[in-house]
Amino acid sequence: MRSVSLFPYYAKDADDKITVPWNIKHVRASSFWPHSQGDGAVVAVVDTGLDVEHPEIKERIISPVNFTAPGYRDNDVRDKEGHGTHVAGIIGGKNTGIAPRCRIMPLKVFGDDKAGINIHEAFKYILEWNRTATEHDRVVAVNCSFGSQVYDPIMAYLIRTLTSSGVSVIVAAGNSGDGDPDTHEVFSYPAYIWEVITASAIKEDGLNAGYSNSFDGIDLGAPGNNICSCWPGGKYKKLSGTSMAAPHVTGAMALIYAMWRKREGRYPTVEEAESVLWKHIRTVDMDPFLIGKGILDLTYEPKRWPLYRVQIGAFYHKSRARVKQKEAEKLGLSTHLAKY
36, 39, 47, 145: which one is catalytic? Answer: 47
- Note if 47 is an active site residue: yes
- Long-range contact pairs involving 269-278 (C-beta distance under 8 Å, separation at least 24): 269/166, 270/163, 270/166, 270/167, 270/168, 272/306, 273/140, 273/168, 274/168, 274/197, 275/306, 276/304, 276/305, 276/306, 277/197, 277/220, 277/249, 277/252, 277/253
Do the beta carbons of residue 246 and residue 143 sit within 8 Å? Answer: yes
- Note if 248 is an active site residue: no
Q: How far apart are CA 214 and CA 291, in angstroms?
A: 8
63, 145, 214, 243: which one is catalytic? Answer: 243
Q: How far apart are CA 39 and CA 193, in angstroms?
A: 29
Distance of alpha carbon 75 from the chain centroid: 23
- Note if 176 is an active site residue: no
DSSP line for 233-280? TTEEEEEESHHHHHHHHHHHHHHHHHHHHHHHSSPPPHHHHHHHHTTS
How open is the CA angle 177-118-47, to the nearest 5 degrees? 50
Q: How far apart are CA 103 and CA 155, in angstroms?
A: 24
Task: Identify which of 228, 215, 218, 224 has the alpha carbon closest to the alpha carbon of residue 243.
Answer: 224
Do the beta carbons of residue 253 and residue 141 sit within 8 Å? Answer: yes
Q: How far apart are CA 251 and CA 130, in angstroms?
A: 19
26, 39, 63, 83: which one is catalytic? Answer: 83
Pairing, β 227-231 against β 220-223? unpaired
Task: Identify which of 243, 267, 245 has the alpha carbon closest to the alpha carbon of residue 255.
Answer: 267
φ, ψ at 173 (rounded to 5°): -70, -30
Question: Which positions are catalytic?
Answer: 47, 83, 243
